[in-house]
Structure 1
């Protein structure tokens, strides 16, 4: 806990129901800050239990008047946004990644907040998808707002690399795209990312800057993730390859109906998202070569993917 009262900040965290938002709240509370955690209406009891030590406020970010009232009451020094659209569909991306963040920024400035920290994503450096364009639009809005800001663009989260743990433990093959070497990333844990976000508070070295950030290296491919998981599970590696072209074909078929049906348009975007993550690395894009670079991707923290897999295997 902090002992210097002058170092205690009033901090409001939006998106506190997500895994990263919860980790940020835990870190802030542990550091002794006065934390207000914004939850969407109807958040479950599990979320509330995970936010112990913070003041919980439920508000729809689309309700600008209610949000302004909450922000005025909280009077935060710093606002941290961990909100993100769940589906990545164009309507969700526009409503959450852009419009909700704009509402949050406007309310923050109206309440006199002096800093806004945004959790973004490293994939916006090569924007091909609706949610990436929405995130970039808000990043530009934030940069032009006049408030002190920091934009954090993490690589892959541990959670996004955990979906096949039960498959492997059950003796099923690990699914890869192509030969499993099409993409690489430097995944970062929730707690390490939360520490990085929190260290941006009132930090002159992070003021008005964008930070791509990964976990401790080296960069790992999809096949290497599978090999690591099989090794930790004590099983011989088994892989099943899926061609990324399947997503291309699915997108083309679904796009035929996109002009007359929002359902088809949304599903076509999902196919584009799947193809993107099957073929694009979550590393810094070298502007000189146009290639993804593990060497240019900063590393932070101490928890490794191996640590995470061991814990999941033990729990399951």
Structure 2
């Protein structure tokens, strides 16, 4: 995927700058010479404060990297939709010319509350009239790093089924940030939904484990968990959901876990209804193996 050079430094308002991807985007913007203003959570909750901040900084471009932390329905609605909607309204009111949204590739097959919230805002953004780009990355390195300490401790790597149920093309924070920032003033990326993965190839959960053991210099050890355990947990928790918000929230967590255990983070081929590695664009230079190596070396 080609990138057009950014012709001029821009005044950019960045929402979600405290998150992992947001920090990488802020660093990339600064490195490319853009003037960056980070929008705080308090501003995102206050429409008037948002408009004032965008006007004061004369923001030309708004980038949103915000996302709900839990994925629970109330949190998803509040962050993935409502906070982004307030930000878009403020951008339009303040005269910003472009809105770049960090979304997620999993919204292609929406079965979860946070996916529906993201799609609702994507539709609102596309209909707003502002120049926009919607970026849907595959798995992040951070999301694939949760078992590093297990392997270091000599424990087996957990897989679902045979470990070949899902595949992804993970992308690093820095590469994703570079891709996001490349959308500024880029006519080829304007008005588009852009799925994006790392340099590839697509790898399964078992292959991630084999890679991690290889980098750690250990013999591979795996422990299989059936995704059905999440279905069972959801059914049990759903019994209490009509009477308790706690049960309803935990049932959604079980659905989220089952989704990621069974669904690939690749482009969904509309012709076949299956995930396709060949249709998933690749970008960047950092590999998951190099990331694992840094983590194991204490980086």
The two structures have a TM-score, normalised by structure 2, of 0.97
Alignment of 1:256-267 (within 5 A): 256-267=239-250
State how many pairs are aligned. 294
Match for residue 53 of structure 2? 70
2:243 is paired with a residue whose SS is: coil
Match for residue 130 of structure 1? 113
2:279 aligned residue (290, 296, 312): 296
CA distance in 2, matches of 1:198, 1:261: 43
Match for residue 21 of structure 2? 20
Following TM superposition, the consecutive aligned residue runs of length 4 or more in structure 1 with deviations greater than 6 angstroms are none
CA distance in 1, matches of 2:150, 2:249: 28
Mapped pair 1:165 → 2:148? yes
Match for residue 31 of structure 1? 32
Match for residue 216 of structure 2? 233
1:89 aligned residue (72, 78, 82): 72
Q: Following TM superposition, by how much is the alpha carbon of 1:39 offset from its aligned partner in structure 2, in angstroms?
A: 2.8
Structure 2: gaps of 5 or more residues: 1-5
Note the alpha carbon deviations across 1:85-112, whole angstroms, 9 max, x for none: 0000000000000000000000111110
Alignment of 1:144-163 (within 5 A): 144-163=127-146
Mapped pair 1:305 → 2:274? no
Over the residues paired in the alignment, what is the CA RMSD in angstroms?
1.1
CA distance in 2, matches of 1:223, 1:192: 24
**Contact 2:7–2:185 (CA<8 Å) still a contact in 1?**
no
CA distance in 2, matches of 1:87, 1:156: 17
CA distance in 2, matches of 1:60, 1:219: 39
Match for residue 43 of structure 1? none
Q: Following TM superposition, by how much is the alpha carbon of 1:6 offset from its aligned partner in structure 2, in angstroms?
A: 7.0
Match for residue 217 of structure 1? 200
Structure with the larger RCO, 1 or 2 (CA within 8 Å, 6+ apart): 2
The two structures have a TM-score, normalised by structure 1, of 0.92
Match for residue 193 of structure 1? 176
CA distance in 2, matches of 1:234, 1:206: 42
CA distance in 1, matches of 2:284, 2:17: 21
Structure 1: gaps of 5 or more residues: 41-58
Q: Following TM superposition, by how much is the alpha carbon of 1:8 offset from its aligned partner in structure 2, in angstroms?
A: 1.3
